A and B are shown apart, each in its own frame.
Chain A
Amino acid sequence: GENVEQHPSTLSVQEGDSAVIKCTYSDSASNYFPWYKQELGKRPQLIIDIRSNVGEKKDQRIAVTLNKTAKHFSLHITETQPEDSAVYFCAATPGGNTGFQKLVFGTGTRLLVSP
């Protein structure tokens, strides 16, 4: 089955720096790659997603890149702010587009942005 690896497990940056989180997946048929942010004690919330027919997507300070050949995708956060501190999860949908999506999550990255 699909396996999603995520690195690093923890990431500490200074406010204003950039943060990059990387994920690799195993199922070449995977075609949807969302990123979720989970603040302490809260629910995971989608922050950005990318589909396999797109190489890059941006939304203000957040961007995601996808390399289908290498089977990896990354989350880039620029000009980090203390409120970006949270656990970030990548995910992939294995087995292609069946209409019934199972999300396989990475192991999470705890991002800490220091003022």
Chain B
Amino acid sequence: DTAVSQTPKYLVTQMGNDKSIKCEQNLGHDTMYWYKQDSKKFLKIMFSYNNKELIINETVPNRFSPKSPDKAHLNLHINSLELGDSAVYFCASSQVSGFEQFFGPGTRLTVL
């Protein structure tokens, strides 16, 4: 009965590799988000999708490509990984007309 789930929980990879993180929500929400939390705990929005359409893109390098196959799923693909991409990535969801955002458990990405 998990509300927002992410896979994998941990991801360790080499610089230059390509990796994907998957997110699913079973709350029936219309809007999903990706956030990045760096080592100083700063939480910053990267992308937001509403009903499979991109609505927020916060000056993220184009090595990051989100994809929403349906409104319950939002995946994040990262090309040519760099050391600075190491962080915890959180997926979240909310109703369009509501405000509370529900976060997934996070994916800790470590780039070596």
Does B100 contact A105, Cβ atoms closer than 8 Å?
Answer: no
Which of A19-27, A39-47, A57-65, A71-79 has 4 or more CB atoms under 8 Å from chain B?
Answer: A39-47
- Tell me the minimal C-beta distance from A7 to chain B in angstroms: 15
Please state if A34 and B97 are interface contacts (CB–CB under 8 Å): no
Separation of A89 and B44 alpha carbons in the complex (Å): 12
- List B contacts of A108 (CB < 8 A): 41-43
Give A103 to B102 CA distance when docked, in angstroms.
Answer: 12
A interface residues, tally (CB under 8 Å)? 22
Number of interface residues of B (CB under 8 A): 24
Interface presence of A115 (CB below 8 A)? no
Chain B residues in 8 Å Cβ range of A89: 43
By the criterion CB–CB under 8 Å, are B106 and A43 in contact? Answer: yes
* B43 and A105 within 8 A (CB): yes
**Which residues of chain A are within 8 angstroms of B45 by Cβ–Cβ distance?**
102-104
Segment of B11-19, B48-56, B63-71, B79-87 engaged in the interface with chain A: B48-56
| Besides the known contacts A43-B103, A49-B100, 16 further A-B residue pairs in the complex with CB atoms under 8 A apart | A43-B106, A44-B103, A46-B101, A46-B102, A51-B99, A89-B43, A99-B97, A100-B31, A100-B55, A100-B96, A101-B94, A102-B56, A102-B58, A105-B42, A105-B44, A108-B43
